């Protein structure tokens, strides 16, 4: 396989980053626009600045009508690290076909991110025109306090022991392929924690092994499918419980995974989901055609969190790629996304008087990848979209900065819950350094 073909095929390893089905709950609320037209910029290159810099956010307001317009401009800032002194709402007069600007200077006093919103409401209007812009300051310096309970380590050691006691009961169903496929395809069924059946698509190169292997894990509700070509790597596109074809014992609907079992850490959905990923790695390591010294896990969004958790709970992982990751710094995430998540969580809490927000945070602390991250000793890569309103980068760095292994990241200034094409070239090159080229071992 020539190099361009190899890269194109390798790109198919990547998780789905932009489909709504792969995104966890929460995210920016879209608000209808009204006059005038509004844009928001920040005077910092690449969206990142140094500690101590002042960033100026400029809202440009254009009145595209033939009538004069009066508007009220209000600034808002969301941040886990920075405290902003905001000016009082400002009233501006825009002449017909005229323009004006409003500026917010924001001192970036410590490492962190600031998500700035400008709300522009026309006199007599009911809904503001809202624009948002996030900037970052020394993201590698971000560090949040852990929220581990005293029995955190014991909980995970007990959970791993419970998984080990479950027989995998491997079932392999070969699937006929096309004559020009460079792999043999099988559907694999395994038993995971609680005896739950989970499935995935295994693609094994036709060339002689052993081969490096990549475990692909899904975004929220995403269905993992086989890819078109694998080169010289084993690829396991794996569906955790309630996802894809892993719905025999844990139903896919309703789509409330993050709320399932929040009353008790032993019953929480992600206890089983994390163990599903470890069980998938167990299976790869049981195969003679897999090189156990060249193992990768790769996911995005929920899959990014699953990648972190797999690398933390399974030391056999040699490289972890966690893109736009969820399941990071839960306390911070719920602070930043309270407007979006509060309805689902409020309904869940109201359904049982014995439930409480404090209890929710205690349960989530066991599954917060930030609390697990110091167990990750393998090479770790992360890509984030600076404007991501679903998995805010400040939470992602809460986990990433506690990883003990060699690590590197890329931030894409204009991206939201998805990554720029250039990211994949970088990630694939890094992957090849650890696993060897997809063209040959």
Identify whether the C-beta of residue 131 lies closer than 8 Å to the C-beta of residue 39: yes
**What residues pair up with 215 in beta bridges, in sequence order?**
236, 297
| DSSP for residue 41 | E
Q: At how many degrees (to 10) do helices 269-285 and 302-313 cross?
A: 60
- The catalytic residues are 301, 388, 417
DSSP H stretches of helix in 66-190:
152-164
Identify whether the C-beta of residue 305 lies closer than 8 Å to the C-beta of residue 322: yes
**13's tokens:** 């390893």
Helices (H) and strands (E) in the chain, counts: 10, 17
| CA distances to 70, 239, 436 from 312, in Å | 55, 19, 23
Closest alpha carbon to 295 in 311, 317, 320: 317
d(CA 157, CA 128): 51
**91's tokens:** 């009233």
pLDDT confidence of residue 427: 96
Polymer length of the chain: 441
Q: What is the pLDDT along the chain (441 residues), one digit of tens a residue?
A: 333 233 333 334 444 433 334 677 765 544 444 579 999 999 999 999 999 999 999 999 999 999 999 999 999 999 999 888 899 999 999 999 999 999 999 999 999 999 999 999 999 888 999 999 999 999 999 999 999 999 999 999 999 999 999 999 999 999 998 888 999 999 999 999 999 999 999 999 999 989 999 999 999 999 999 999 899 999 999 999 999 999 999 999 999 999 999 999 999 999 999 999 999 999 999 999 999 999 999 999 999 999 999 999 999 999 999 999 999 999 999 888 754 455 788 889 999 999 999 999 999 999 999 999 999 999 999 999 999 999 999 999 999 999 999 999 999 999 999 998 999 999 999 999 999 988 755
Which stretch of DSSP H or E encloses residue 334? helix 330-336
pLDDT confidence of residue 339: 47
**Could you tell me the domains of the chain?**
3-17+145-435 (3.40.50.1820), 37-141 (2.60.40.10)
Closest alpha carbon to 269 in 244, 245, 251, 248: 251
Within 10 A of 18 (CB to CB), how many other CB atoms are there? 16
Plot region of 346 (φ>0 → left; ψ -120 to 50 → alpha; else → beta) = alpha
Identify whether the C-beta of residue 89 lies closer than 8 Å to the C-beta of residue 106: no
DSSP H stretches of helix in 254-328:
269-285, 302-313
pLDDT confidence of residue 14: 46
How many CA atoms within 13 Å lie on the side-chain side of 202? 23
| DSSP for residue 278 | H
Give burial (CB, 10 Å; 0-12/13-18/19+) of 176. exposed
d(CA 9, CA 107): 45
- 254: preceding bond cis by omega (within 30 degrees): yes
Reduced to 3 states (helix: H, G, I; strand: E, B; else coil), residue 362 is helix
Which stretch of DSSP H or E encloses residue 40? strand 37-42
**47's tokens:** 């969206």
């Amino acid at each position: 396989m020539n190099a361009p073909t190899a890269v194109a095929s390798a790109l198919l390893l990547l998780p789905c980053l932009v489909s709504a089905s792969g995104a966890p709950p929460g995210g920016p609320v879209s608000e209808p626009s009204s006059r005038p037209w509004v844009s928001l910029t920040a005077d910092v290159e690449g969206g990142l600045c140094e500690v101590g810099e002042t960033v100026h956010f400029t809202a440009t307001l254009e009145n595209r009508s033939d009538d004069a317009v009066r508007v009220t401009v209000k600034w808002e800032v969301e941040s886990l690290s920075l405290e902003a002194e905001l000016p009082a709402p400002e009233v501006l007069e825009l002449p017909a076909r005229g323009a004006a600007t409003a500026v917010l200077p924001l001192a970036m006093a410590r490492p962190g991110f600031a998500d700035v919103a400008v709300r522009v409401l026309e006199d007599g209007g009911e809904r503001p025109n809202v624009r948002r812009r996030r900037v970052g300051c020394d993201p590698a310096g971000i560090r949040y306090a852990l929220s581990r309970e005293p029995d955190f380590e014991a909980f995970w050691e007990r959970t791993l022991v419970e998984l080990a006691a479950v027989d995998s009961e491997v079932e392999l169903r070969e699937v006929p392929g096309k004559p020009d496929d460079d792999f043999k395809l099988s559907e694999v069924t395994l038993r995971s924690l609680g005896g739950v059946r989970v499935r995935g698509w295994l693609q094994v190169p036709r060339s002689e092994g052993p081969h490096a292997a990549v475990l692909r894990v899904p975004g929220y509700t995403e269905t993992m499918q086989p890819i078109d070509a694998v080169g010289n790597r084993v690829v396991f596109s794996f569906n955790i419980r309630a996802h894809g074809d892993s719905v025999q014992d844990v139903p896919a609907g309703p789509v409330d995974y993050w709320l399932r079992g929040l009353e008790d850490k032993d019953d929480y959905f992600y206890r089983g989901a994390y163990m599903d990923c470890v069980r998938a790695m167990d299976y790869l390591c049981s195969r003679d055609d897999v090189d156990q010294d060249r193992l990768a896990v790769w996911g995005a969004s929920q899959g990014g969190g699953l990648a972190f958790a797999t690398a933390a709970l399974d030391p056999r992982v040699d490289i972890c790629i966690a893109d736009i990751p969820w399941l990071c710094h839960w306390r911070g995430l719920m602070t930043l996304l309270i407007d979006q998540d509060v309805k689902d969580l409020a309904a869940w809490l109201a359904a049982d008087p014995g439930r409480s927000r404090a209890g929710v945070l205690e349960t989530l602390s066991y599954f917060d990848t930030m609390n697990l991250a110091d167990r990750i000793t393998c090479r770790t890569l992360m890509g984030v979209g600076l404007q991501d309103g679903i998995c805010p980068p400040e939470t992602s760095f809460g986990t990433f900065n506690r990883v003990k292994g060699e690590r590197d990241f890329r931030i894409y200034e204009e991206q939201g819950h998805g990554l720029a094409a250039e990211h994949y070239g970088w990630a694939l090159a890094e992957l090849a350094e650890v696993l060897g080229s997809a063209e040959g071992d």
